[in-house]
Amino acid sequence: MLADREVEAIYIGLPNGLHEEWALRCADAGKHVLCEKSLAMSPESARRMQSAFSARRLRLVEAFMYRHHPQWRRVHEIVASGALGEVRLARACFAGTLPRGNDHRWSKELGGGALWDLTCYGVDAARYVLGTEPARVAAFADARTAEGVDRSTQALLEFAGGVVASAAGSLSAAQDQSFVVIGSEGALELDRPFAPGRGPTHVTRRRGDRIDRLEVPGADHFSLQMDHFANLVADPNRSLWPAEDGTANVAACAAVEKSWREGVVVPVSAAS
């Protein structure tokens, strides 16, 4: 594909630890890239990737497919409308049981672990909904594994104005996914925020004693992601979710990892 002049763009679905190598090879070959999350394993790596694509006027986009499901548009509309009042808290969880075997998500060398595979969704969703970056994080993890990776992670992220978000993920827990935003006057919840399937979903909005369960039509968020990426490649003036956004999520996740490994509160700037 790298040598084929007819190929304009490449999707990188390799394990996290191989993203930088192959993204840089794609950039050298003049190919736009849709790169599976997590974009990279360190802020330095993400910046090298970002710089390589920017210098060649190529697109580099992190593939967080969940963002493209229409239920998240409803979340943004509700938060922006002020129906919840001022946002105070957000919390996310994405968990499941992954057999050990030789799956790359249990490999430290290939960038495995709950943080970079699942907890990263909650970190990204908090940034996405709040529209800003966390200032500092505190995190804990269960890394009692022979492979040296975390099988469960819990992170607390502090945003401007005292907004606090939590993000949890696990490779060895019962299946669970949830996302909740709580404001000064109400709250909303997504039942299937990250793996919604293709059928209808629901956004539940609570304000006092009133509960509204809003149905969102089903959608193929993977297909919508590909449409979005194709539009970015076709129109160089569009800037929605550029490489910088993926780089910022890597910085936040790197701070989470530094926190649980060292047992300290970490400013996100210290990890970037």
| Residue 23 maps to a domain | yes
- In tens, the pLDDT along 122-162 reads 999 999 999 999 999 999 999 888 788 999 999 999 999 99
Q: Which whole number is the average pLDDT over 110-123? A: 95
| Residue 31 maps to a domain | yes
| Residue 204 maps to a domain | no
Map residue 201 onto helix, strand or coil. Answer: strand
| Residue 249 maps to a domain | no
Residue keyed to tokens 């002049």: 5
What ranges make up the beta strands (E) of 60-209? 60-63, 87-97, 136-142, 152-158, 164-170, 172-183, 187-190, 201-207
For residues 151 and 143, give the distance between their C-alpha atoms in angstroms, rounded to a whole number.
Answer: 6
User: Which CATH number covers residue 23?
Assistant: 3.40.50.720
| Residue 90 maps to a domain | no
| Residue 189 maps to a domain | no
Biggest distance spanned by C-alpha atoms of the chain: 61
Residue keyed to tokens 């907890």: 119
Map residue 147 onto helix, strand or coil. Answer: coil
Are 91 and 176 spatial neighbours (Cβ–Cβ below 8 Å)? no
Q: Which residue from 134, 103, 104 is spatially nearest to 120, judged by alpha carbons? A: 134
If you write DSSP's letter for every residue of 152-191 in order, what string do you get? EEEEEEE-GGG-EEEEEEESEEEEEEEEEEEESS-EEEES
Pick the residue with more confidence: 21 or 146?
21
What ranges make up the beta strands (E) of 37-86? 60-63
| HEC secondary structure over 20-40 | HHHHHHHHHCCCEEEEECCCC
Pick the residue with more confidence: 142 or 242?
142
Residue 104's alpha-carbon distances to 33, 41, 108, 111, 117, in angstroms, are 22, 14, 8, 8, 10
Percentage above 70 pLDDT, the chain: 97
For residues 250 and 45, give the distance between their C-alpha atoms in angstroms, rounded to a whole number.
Answer: 9
| Residue 107 maps to a domain | no
* Sheet with 9-12: strands ordered across: 9-12, 32-36, 60-63
For residues 127 and 118, give the distance between their C-alpha atoms in angstroms, rounded to a whole number.
Answer: 15
| Residue 58 maps to a domain | yes
Task: Report how many domains make up the chain.
Answer: 1
pTM for the structure as a whole: 0.94
Q: Which pLDDT band, with edges at 50, 70 and 90, does 34 fall under?
A: very high
Query: Across the strands, what pairs with 180?
Result: 91, 189
Domain span at residue 28 reads 9-65+223-242
